[in-house]
Amino acid sequence: MKRQLVSLWVLSALLLASCESVTEREDPKSFLSIEDVADSKALLGAPPVEGSAAYQYDVARYKWGKSQRSTPRGAQAVRDANLQDTVWMDAAFSEAFGYALTPENAPEIVKLIQRMKEDAGDLCTRAAKEGYMRQRPFMVFEEPTSTPQDDVYLRKNGSYPSGHTAIGWATALVLAEINPARQTEILERGLEFGESRVIVGAHFQSDVDAGRTVASGLVARLHADDGFAKQMTKAKIEFARLRNADKKK
């Protein structure tokens, strides 16, 4: 009897571990690992150095960004800084996409974008961020940003390339593939999302440009991943249902 109880306990433990393992595989936080993505430090090269023409352009764009902070565009830039949970997708891209990007309205599309967020914001930018540890413009010029709640974290994190921009541009590229009829609006919004980082003072323009470069490479790599391909298929099927339901109204 004792042996039977022990055997049942061991079997239960194994089944529980198996279920936990399956859950982890089915709902990971990203599609890729750091070994899967291109080396952003080698790909991008060093950021502009002080005195160069590229750096002078960075400074000019920083000054332009400051001039926008008291305008509606500046308010939008502050909203674009928020990447918490899944709310940011709805706020940033629903209008351009043409449909609400919420877990209630488009769960498969939201799941796709949220799962690739770590790939874009961290994995494809990490090597260059850690390798160059470029100071952010608000640190260089010793001036406040439009998002002071983020400054403590940003001071510890390299400016080049922009992770926010990489997330926004990768998202725009994928959403444009799902809904090509709205690709112009979606890509324009993706460009604005990166530009917002210059306006709030968190990034130089060259950080933003580099963020788009690594994000483009990431999306190409994601298309070679089976997990991404499967979730993309689900997202496209979901979008077809949304579009058909809209046509019947």
Separation of alpha carbons 54 and 118, rounded Å: 29
Separation of alpha carbons 197 and 146, rounded Å: 10
In angstroms, the Cα distances linking 225 to 33, 47, 218, 219, 236 are 11, 30, 11, 10, 16
CA nearest to 74, candidates 65, 61, 87: 65
Answer yes or no: are the C-beta atoms of 127 and 218 closer than 8 Å: no
Which residues are catalytic, by number? Answer: 164, 197, 203, 207
CA nearest to 166, candidates 231, 204, 122: 122
